[in-house]
Structure 1
């Protein structure tokens, strides 16, 4: 089968042999590289290009599955991870025994087709669709790759990832709360009445989780600093990042939590409405209050929390670049019954993972 393309409105269908099916995704830099595949073995020519693309190095997610009809699942996973880490230690791996999809996205172009990201696919006839539609790409990435640590079985390859996982849980809560607030405030001009129960809560749970996370982070920080000082002359890079993350978390905890500005806003509206009862209908038909400003204030709180996540991700990259050990540990299947939130209430559940990488050989 020779290479051929069939144009679509915002993309194309690709009919080809092997890796030619998705090669185009690697010909253009994007902000990240996310993929799902059956097995995983990056073709050499793509791997060499990938390692030169620093943008990709900072955000690579691989969701994979392996052939498991001969009871050798663990051995196959171990072999796959060891082989991949020897060539690229920055990849974030997630195992999903139900996965049979083949998706590759660099944020600008997205491939969905039949080709696995392995060298073994080179002689197969493959068919796939490549789209450049931004909205489609974002929807697929959001549904398949967002919060991969919480959706799939993470395979930890460094001590920072177990520290990131519980914080992702908090970010997920914050984003859901912000989405609700944005919808609420976006429609405020059409409301004639809203109940107290419809307003955001007082943020007590989020504040509690942030406090628990900061407590856990301080324990991890002490372990990480002790370990990095013995393993790298450039330990000050990690130490400075750890201090910045701790200070940022403390600063967020000093703020009124997300939803507070929205509650203040609605309290003000109610007081103003009661004092001008005779103008009630007119009041609700005009944009009297700066509800968009409130949205920006709520967004600012979320942005501060997301900035900490970016620092944690950067901390992971710095750690791996300074301490190369190629060790990895799978998330304990038995603990799948334990919600990630329990890592905040019982830091020892996370400790066992980050300390696995800090043990002296």
Structure 2
């Protein structure tokens, strides 16, 4: 039978249609936030062909683009997750941790992603490059990440301009600024004071970060003597803010590697009203290396995050909640990949939780997944609101 089409035309057209259709499907699944497609198709390709730091930059650009607002699964909110912490209402208790958007480039994009709150930084007063590359390593077999960024930052001037543009005191998604110190600063309290002066008028909360393992001497600031001096200085800066403005809450971020005595000292300090600490973030990355690690990158220096940190982190939340009698709100951060992971930290004593490494392995659709699964956990236990679960593991069983 004679065909009016030239030889091979139908075959070539069929291939083009298949490629076009497949590409359209991939784009559709990507930009509507299909959880399985991201986890099983997109991220494995990224991990295979893109180094960790470049992929991180791509993630920030994606958030900055505003496309996360189209991730339909993330946009659903649940009345069970609406909660009040720090005197503010959160539509859900899921936030993104510092370290992702270091320079405040994607505040509005992250706000539109389905998160309940956003934290940027760490920000140092002066710009600094951080440590030499390579400085970020995936532990694929362990679902972990080791980083030794070393507070790479665009500096307080640049980032505070971005924060000023993004800040709205009545925004339904709070954002905080995580403060760090420059590597060569001797009097650390001065850097945190400068950070508080830069951002005090343009954020909902400030975080004193003295727990990164990648700045020499930083973790020593968690000792009681240093901590009192540091917090007194930052609190004074916040108190100088114009009374007509809403003052930011003051949070302290601690390491998961503190011993029992160190935790007791920190609990005493944060409960002392003289220092004005409004909450704790537990925790930063760990310098420990669990024996269970199997990745070839397990011996890299730096802070370990992700699934290998989960158990240690939850244990520290338990301890601090008990030491403070639940009087100081806790944000739990470390190894959250599911609603069950979040629920464990909330039952341990966290009022809010933060993600980061989970995004490395499952993409931004993890936000919607964790919210949905967290609601399922609440319903399974007969709870009507997430606030009822905070510290539940410390209450007598009925």
TM-score by shorter chain over 0.5: no
- TM-score, structure 2 normalization: 0.28
Question: Of the two, which has the highest radius of gyration?
Answer: 1
Higher helix content, 1 or 2: 1
- TM-score, structure 1 normalization: 0.30
| More relative contact order, 1 or 2 (CA 8 Å, 6+ apart) | 1
